[in-house]
Amino acid sequence: MSIREPDGCPERRPESWLEFMSETGLQAKLKRIVGRMDGNFRQVRQLIAGRAERAERFRDPLRPGQRPQDIFAVLLFTVGLAVVVLDIPTYPWIRSLPPAYLNTFATFTDLGKAHWILWTSGVICLALLAQETGKWRFRLRMAAGAAFTYGGFIFFTVAASGVLSVILKWSLGRARPKLYDQVGPVEFDFFAFHGSYTSFPSGHSTTVGAFAAALALIFPSWRWLILVAAFWVAFSRCFVGAHYPSDVIAGTLLGVTFTFFTARALARRRLGFHITPEGRIEPIMSARSAKACVREIWRTWLGRQTARRAEPMRESHDQQPQ
C-alpha cells in the first residue's frame, strides 16, 4: 500500500496499518460504525430491561404438557423406550443396508452442525446493529427489527442448547455405536472425556431440534414441513453410525424444549412473540405485515425507492415567495 504525494514528490508508504487507515479515512469510518453499533446495542438492552416489569406482571401458567415435570416424563418415556426397543437392533440393521442408503444420509447429515447457523444469524445481527435504521422507512425498520429479534433468538437458542449438550455428553460418557461390538449399546463411562464416549445426547440433533423449533415458531404456516425435514436430518445421525436412536431423541427434545422456554420468555415481554388467550406462542408480526416488509425490501433492492424516509421540506426564513 502507498499514499500518492503531490507531483514531483516520491510516493510514501505508510509505516503501519493504523497510519494507512488514518490517512485513507478508514479509521474514522470504523469509529462511526462502532459507535453506531454501541448505541444500537444500548437501545436493545434498554428495551429488554424495560420489558422485565411486564414479564413479572404477566405470569401465564404453563399448560398441561408444557410444565417441566411433563417434559421430563416425556423424556424418560421416549428415551427409555428407545433404549429398550430400538438401540439394540438398530445398529446391526443399519450395517446391513446397501452403501447407497448410507451415502444418501451422509450427504445432508452435516446440516445438523451449528456453525453455519451461528455464522448466518450472527452476521445478520451485527450488520443490522451497524445500520442507522432510525432513518429508514417504516416498513424497512419493521423488517430490520424482526430480522434482528428472530436472528438473535435463533443464535441464542442454537448456541446455548449446544453448549448444554456438550456438557451433558462429555459428562455422561455413553459409548458411541462404533464400540457396539466391544461394549454393547448401553455402556456409560462417566467423565471419561474421550470422543468415543460422547454419544448421549446427540449434539447435531440438539442443534436440529433448536433450529427447527425456532423456525416453526417464526413461520407457523410452514411448521409441518420444517418438522418433517428436521426429523430426517436428526435421524441421519443413526444412519451414518454416529448415534443410537435414544441419543437422537434426547438431543432433539433438549433443543426443542430449550427453544420453547426461550420463546416463552420473549413472549411474556412481547419481544418477537406473544402468548394467545389459548396459551399458544405466536409471532407478533402477522403474515400480511411480513409480506409487506418483504415487498418493501425488494423494491429498495431493485432501486425503485430509497431506504431512507422522506424528510420534510424546510424553507429558509430569508427566502420570500415570488
Give me the pLDDT at residue 11, please: 57
CA–CA dist 228, 213 (Å, integer): 11
Question: What are the residue ranges spanned by the domains of the chain?
Answer: 24-302
Give me the pLDDT at residue 268, please: 86
Give me the pLDDT at residue 304, please: 58
- pLDDT mean values, one per 10 residues, the chain (322 residues): 52 58 62 67 65 62 79 90 90 87 90 94 87 73 84 96 96 92 88 90 96 94 94 93 94 95 90 86 82 74 62 49 44
Give me the pLDDT at residue 55, please: 58
Cell numbers describing residue 166: 456438550
Give me the pLDDT at residue 129, please: 82
CA–CA dist 149, 151 (Å, integer): 6
Give me the pLDDT at residue 208, please: 97
**Runs of H (alpha helix) within the chain:** 17-24, 26-50, 52-57, 68-81, 87-95, 99-108, 115-129, 138-172, 180-183, 203-218, 223-239, 245-268, 287-302
204: amino acid identity, one letter: H
Give me the pLDDT at residue 306, please: 63
Among residues 218, 182, 211, 179, the alpha carbon closest in space to that of 198 is found at 179
CA–CA dist 121, 3 (Å, integer): 38
Give me the pLDDT at residue 155, please: 96
CA–CA dist 256, 252 (Å, integer): 6
